[in-house]
Structure 1
Amino acid sequence: MTIQQDFLSALTEPLGHHRPPLATARRAWIRALPYAVALVAVGALLPTGIVTLIRFHGVDPSLATVLAVVQSGSLVLALTRPLLAWQLVAPSVLVGAVATYGTAAEQPWPWPVTTLLSYLFLMVLLAVRERGLVLFAVWAATFVGCSLSWTVFNEHFDGSSVVATALSGAILLFGWSLRGRGEARRRLAEQEQISETERARSALLEERTRIARELHDVVAHHMSVITVQADSAPYRIGGLPPAAVEEFGQIAAAARGSLAEMRRLLGVLRAEGDAPDRTPQPGLADLPKLLATAGQAGVRAELSGAQGVSVPEAVGLSAYRIVQEALANVVRHAPGATAEVRLSTADGALALTVRNGPPPGRAAAVETSGGTGQGLVGMRERVRLLAGTLDTGPTADGGYRVRAVLPLDGTGTGTDPGESAA
């Protein structure tokens, strides 16, 4: 964040807080800046105000001291409560106008220089901390007071009231517009953050829905086999006692009920108008075809390891989808790079690693942005579903690596085959 952005965001924090301006700035010196400016202003205006009121306006020293303390000292109070500070300064300006009336014709009246400077500093603090309606009321009160001094005491009017009215109005208007711009930017940033969160949540829900549909196809196959075997057992196996026949019937009924529940759940998960996909779900045996497809897109991929090993369908499907997403990322972000897909099994787990090198030469990526992250979301959801582990990240040579360990029994107790081999 630049210093300009730091100033703008700190000056436009939400209203209603009794905190000094720039209190939310990230840099310490910016947070301390209002205090330093206020102390310098008080240190300059307080003694100057006393001397000015006594020497040039003939005000009693005690009254001059009180007026100078209120008008300049209120700047410190204005750091946290600017409206209260104005409510103290405004009567002191009126008292000072009465005290200096007719005392020195050659001096500005009813706004001595030190009084005017204190008032304008106060307008700055008001402008960045109060609502537009409050700012308008303050300026209207200033305008009315200056107008009265011109109409009632016009023989002493020298234009200082015009200066006070014009400058205070300009400061309040500028501060109000600056605050409005900052508020708009802050709300836009909040909306962008909400939209980004919603997009991530939508991506997560969509990927979970897709996984649920695929698992339905995998589980439904086994449940159908159980139903058929339980229904046909009394006919295939002769001499079963009645209790066994009844038990097989209950098993078949439970399996049919489970299938019906899964179909109803799948109907809820499917989008409106989404036709059911009746094609077989892919597995490890389909990886060579997947690598050939990646090769047509310019990514030379090699497959090594136990790709012919028998694994549960859910594990094979998740492994296929992880490899598919990893190769798709290579095509999008490192076109022309070489990739290696390695499989291994040990200690009840399937480990797969997809590693790619950097793109050759200056090949331009298909996607130059960081992407939406939906692919990694899908990988993590699949690995989490099987109680496995996932490790992703860049490699030392400028490539990228995706490694997943999927327990074959879904319990998460299997160790990393790479570790066991070591």
Structure 2
Amino acid sequence: MAGESALLKWVLRDVLLAAAVTGRADPAPLDRPWPFVLRWTTYIGIGRARFGVVVNVVGVVLTVVMIGGTISLLSDESIRRGTEMSGVTELFIALAVTAPFALRDLHPLAAWRWSFLGTALVDVGGWLSTPYVPWGAITALACVCTVAMRCSRDVTLGVAIFSFAGVWLKDPETALNASILLVPPLAVGYAVRLRQTSRRQLAEQRLRLAFEERRHQDAEAVLTERQRIARELHDVVAHHMSMIAIQAEAAPYKVESIPDETRRDLAEIRATALDALTELRRILGVLRSEDGAETAPQPGLDRLDDLVNNARAAGLHVTTRLDGDLTGLPPGVGLTAYRILQEALSNAMRHAPGSQVHVDASHADGIVWLGVVNGPPANGQPPGPGLPGGGHGLIGMRERATALGGDLTARPTPDGGFALTANLPVETPSRARDTSTPARDAT
């Protein structure tokens, strides 16, 4: 029962009502390309014009010819039969049944509806041997063919039902011949539409395949470049860091008596080099992976003591003040906070060796607050060289903070030192994406 109701609803709404009132035809742009069989017209000049314009101009000319032919036919038949028909009536009949031919390219459904009503209402049985005006029948068949080419299957089915029903209701004696004449334009028009639809779907499929191939090529190029960078890092940077670690470990054994402080410094150099190698291996793993996803555990504020100890070993006098839970932060927040503090302490080592540094980190009210303030270089030590490239470390830190919805400020202090502050929201509405793998490493 439900199936029958759905079928009836489909027939009434999507077929008959669409054909009569609500249906729409596919647009036909005026600048569409010429058909292949007509491209020879380029050599005589006509083919250089827009095909849609030529079609409509030819349609108007043929419509004028058919209107004149219809008026002439009706006039001759009325005279031959001895019946009077006014010129106004002849013009009305000619316009009613042939004028839709001029509209069939731009508005095929409207042209068919006009032709259907005109053919249904006009009866010339008293003047002609058939109830149909010849040029009107040709117009009706042309409109049916155009509808089949430019409308959906449901609309075309509705037009066919109305057309077949119309010829049987108008004149049962000629209905069989009229029905046979309706079949070829419907079949040809629908076949043309199927061919156009198939070509369009094939073109869209080729476009999708080309897009996928281009995306695959781009991804392959990115992966190849990352692998090249990984090889360079491995062959150059990793080699040098390994040599630093080996030489720092072997140096105490080359000298018979070496101060304990120097021995500790060499041990710190070796430990720092090994840490750098560990980080480098992690980065190489990311570069060599197909999707670039981080797989190794990321550092967080739970490793803040290591940062501070390394800074102290490098000669900085570091004091810390920690407040709140700094170990249970989300991975993205913890990593960003760690990298900011790491870069700030590295800058202090380079630009203010031996200075007093105060590190402040707290977690309260859903915000992680960071502060690093260092004084001027101690004991008149000259500051180290500036960062290559104009201070990209600060830019990277600011980008990391902004990515989490926070902010970062860095400014010199009146005593010749430097102060850096940052606040990082632990949970923000804007953090819709995963920030555990920042796009840029501040270090």
TM superposition score normalised by structure 1:
0.49
The higher radius of gyration belongs to 2
